[in-house]
Structure 1
Amino acid sequence: MATRITTPFDATSTAQDVVAGIDLTGRTALVTGAASGIGLETARALAGAGASVTLAVRDLEAGHTAGRDIAATTGNDTVEVVHLDLADLRTVSTLTDGWVGPLHVLVNNAGIMASPEAYTPQGWELQFATNHLGHFALALGLRDALAAADDARIVSVSSSGHGSSPVLFDDLFFDRRPYDAGTAYGQSKTANVLFAVEATRRWADLGITANALMPGGVWTKLQQHWDPATLAATKAQVPATDAAGMGVKTPQQGAATSVLLATWPGLQGVGGRYFEDCREAAVVEQVPDGLHGVCAYALDPVAAERLWDVSLALLEGVRPG
C-alpha cells in the first residue's frame, strides 16, 4: 500500500494556516453550501488567497450576506453568489449551463444530516439525493470547465459518519427496510468517498483529481435535526480539539482539510484518497473512535464504479429495482 500522505498541519490548524503563502490569483473556485459554517470559511480562505470564488447556496439572501462578509474580510471582491438546491436538479442544470470559463476548484461541501424521512419527486431518499446525487450531477455538468483548468481539484466533504453504512445498492432508498436517518446519512457519506475514487480514475487524464475528507467535529447547522437537549448536553461536554483531532473544532479548523485538498502544492495529481485532520486517514474495518479512519468499503474501486453507473442511471431516469 502507498505511504499515507502527511502534511505540516494537524487538527488545530485553520484554513488560513493551510493557505498561508499560497497565491490563487487567476484561479476560480465554486463552493457549495458556502453561506455558513465550514463552507463559508472554506470560501473565505480561498478568496483570501486571491481566488475568484462562487458561493452556491440554497438561501440567496444568506449567500449575499456571506459574500459581502468575505469581500470585507479578505479585500477580494471577486465573490459571486448563485442559487443551488442539490435536491432540485433543475437548479443544478441552471448553474452548470450558465458556467463560463475554467473551474480550478470544486468544493462539494453542502449537505444535510440525520434528517426526517423524506424523498424527492423522483423518489430518491433526501440525504442520498442531496449529499451525493446532486453533487454528482454538479460535477458531471462542470467536467468540461474543470478539464479546461490546470490541475483541477474536486473536494468531496464526507464524514466519519460513513462508518455507519456502506452504499446498499439493493435498497438505496429504504424500500425494503425501515428508514433510519443515521444509516441514510452514512451511506450518503460513503458515496462521497466512492465518488472521489471513481472521478479520479475516470478524469485524471483530463487533469482532474478528487479527494474526500472528514472535516472533524464542528458545531454547524448540520446538527439542526438533533434533539435540542442532546445537542446542548453534548456541546457542554465536548472539549476543544487537540492536535490529534479529539474534540470539537471551530469552523475555521473544520475548513482546513478542505482547503488543504483544494490548494496544497504537495497534492498535485493526487486523487481517490480520504483525509482527516490535514493528513491522509488510515484504512480501518470500522471507525474506532467515531472520528478517525476510513472504512475499506468506502475506497473499494468496484463499488465506486458501480455507484457511478447507478448514479448515471438514476439521473437518466432509470431507478434500480
Structure 2
Amino acid sequence: MIETAFGFSSTAADVVRGVELGGRRAVVTGGASGIGVETARALASAGAEVTLAVRDVSAGERTAKDIAATTGNEKVFVAELDLTDLASVRGFAAGWQGALDILVNNAGVMASPEEYTEQGWELQFATNHLGHFALATGLHDALVAAGNARVVVVSSSGHQLSPVVFDDLNFAFRPYDRWLAYGQSKTANVLFAVEASRRWAADGITANALMPGAIYTNLQRHTEGRGSGKTPPELIKTVEQGAATSVLLAVSPALEGIGGRYCADCNEAEVLDRRSGTLSGVARYALDRDNAERLWTVSEGLLAEG
C-alpha cells in the first residue's frame, strides 16, 4: 500500500518540492487547461523539459509562456495533438525524438453528449482511452529509451459508475448514457495502467492511475460547471491541489518501480466491492488483470481497424 506524507490539501508544488528533474523529459496531454497546466508547471519548476500536447496550439503557446515565466524554465514546448484523430496521435508519436521519461495522460472529456468518431467509436471512450492508448503504445520506444519511465493516467472516481462493457463499448444496443460512457472510459484508464505495467515491466516502464479530486475546470463544460452536482463544497479542490496526485505519481521516490496502482489524495486508494458513493476508493473490476489484458487486446484490434 502506497502511503505518503501528502494528502487532500497538498498542492503540486508541495509534492515536487525538493525533486530534481534536470535532464528529464515529460509530455502532458491537455496541458493548456485545468490541472494539466499545474501538472506541467510543477514538472517544469523541478527542471524537466515539458511538452504540452494540446488541440489548441494557441492556448498551448500562451500557457507555455506563462509556465516559463513563473518557473524560469524555458524548456516548455507545445505540440499539436488531437486524441480523437488517429493520424494526429500517430503523427505526434512518430515525430517524437529521443527518450521520454514521463508521459502524463491528462486530457479528457466528461459526460459529453452522444457523439462518435469517424470509426464509430463513442467519443468519451475514444478520447479518454483509445487516443491515449495509441499515444502511449506509439511512444513505447521513447519510454524504453528513458530506462525508468513513468506513465501517469488521470482517471476518476467516476469509474465506479461503470465497468468496461466489452459487449457494447459504443452503446449500439443500450440507450446512450453520458455518465455510464464516462465511467466506462475512466475504468479503461485504470485497466490500461494495470496492463501496461505488466507488459512493460521488463522495459523499466511503470504506469499508475489516479483520481485528481473534484475540481472546477473546463472538464465540466457539459455539466453546467458543477460535475454531477453532488460534490459538497468542502470536497472541492483548487487546480493546484488537483494536480498533486498526478505529480506525485510522476516524480515521487515512493513510486519507484511500482505500477498498476490507483491513487487518490496522494495515497493509494482502498479497493471496493461496492460503489462507495464518495470520491475515494477503486472498484475491484478496474484492477482486474483479466479485464486489463482483454481491454489491451480489444484496443489493439480497434486501432488496427481504425
Instruction: Determine if the TM-score, normalized by the shorter chain, exceeds 0.5.
Output: yes
Alpha-carbon distance in 2 for matches of 1:281, 1:250: 20
2:138 is the counterpart of 1:135 = no
Specify which of 185, 208, 214 is matched with residue 211 of structure 1: 208
| Aligned pair partner of 2:233 in 228, 239, 247 | 239
Per-residue CA deviations over 1:101-126 (Å, capped at 9, x if unaligned) read 10000000000000000000000000
Pick from 90, 96, 100 the counterpart of residue 99 of structure 1.
96
256, 264, 278: which one aligns with 2:244: 256
Match of 2:299, SS? helix
**8 A Cα contact 1:33 1:111, kept in partner:** yes
The correspondence for 1:15, drawn from 9, 12, 16, is 12
The CA distance in 2 between the partners of 1:210 and 1:232, in whole Å, is 27
Match of 1:174 among 158, 171, 174: 171
Query: 1:291 aligns to what?
Result: 279
Residue 85 of structure 2 corresponds to residue 88 of structure 1 = yes
Determine whether 1:25 maps to 2:19: no
The answer on 1:302 being equivalent to 2:290 is yes
Residue 38 (structure 1) aligned with residue 35 (structure 2) = yes
Is the 2:106–2:154 contact (alpha carbons within 8 Å) kept by the matching residues of 1? yes
Equivalents in 1 of 2:224, 2:248: separation in Å? Answer: 33
Q: 2:2–2:254: 8 Å Cα contact kept in structure 1?
A: no
Q: What value does the CA root-mean-square deviation take over the aligned residues?
A: 1.4
Write out per-residue CA displacement over residues 25-64 of structure 1, whole angstroms, 9 at most, x where no aligned residue.
0000000001011000000000000000000001011000
Once the two structures are superposed, what CA deviation does each residue of 1:270-292 show, in whole Å capped at 9, x if it has no partner? 00000000000000023313301
Taking structure 1 as the reference length, the TM-score comes to 0.93
Q: Is the 8 A contact 2:147 2:203 kept in 1?
A: no
Tell me, in whole angstroms, the C-alpha distance in 1 between the residues paired with 2:257 and 2:227.
Answer: 42
Partner of 1:244: none
CA distance in structure 1 between the partners assigned to 2:216 and 2:98 by the alignment: 35
Q: Does 1:280 pair with 2:268?
A: yes
The reply on whether 1:6 has 2:3 as its aligned counterpart is yes
Ranges in structure 2 where 5+ consecutive residues have no aligned partner: none
Conservation of the 8 A alpha-carbon contact between 1:127 and 1:185? yes
Aligned residues of 1:30 and 1:56 also touching (Cα < 8 A): yes
Distance across 1 between alignment mates of 2:228 and 2:122? 30
User: Quick one: which of 55, 61, 64 aligns to 2:58?
Assistant: 61
Q: TM-score, normalised by structure 2?
A: 0.98
Q: Which amino acid aligns with 1:278?
A: C
**Structure 1: runs of 5+ lacking an equivalent:** 241-246
User: Relative to 1, partners in 2 of residues 1:191 and 1:78: Cα closer, same or farther, differing over 3 Å?
Assistant: same
The CA distance in 1 between the partners of 2:172 and 2:283, in whole Å, is 25
How far apart in 1 are the matches of 2:183 and 2:154?
A: 13
For residue 52 of structure 2, give the secondary structure of its aligned residue in structure 1.
strand
Letter in 1 for 2:254: G
2:220 touches 2:227 (CA, 8 Å); kept in 1? no
Structure 1: distance between partners of 2:301 and 2:223 = 33
Divergent runs of 4+, >2 A: 231-235, 237-240
- Aligned residues of 2:99 and 2:146 also touching (Cα < 8 A): yes
Question: Counterpart of 1:40 in structure 2: which amino acid?
Answer: V
The CA deviation at 1:94 is 1.0
Identity %: 64
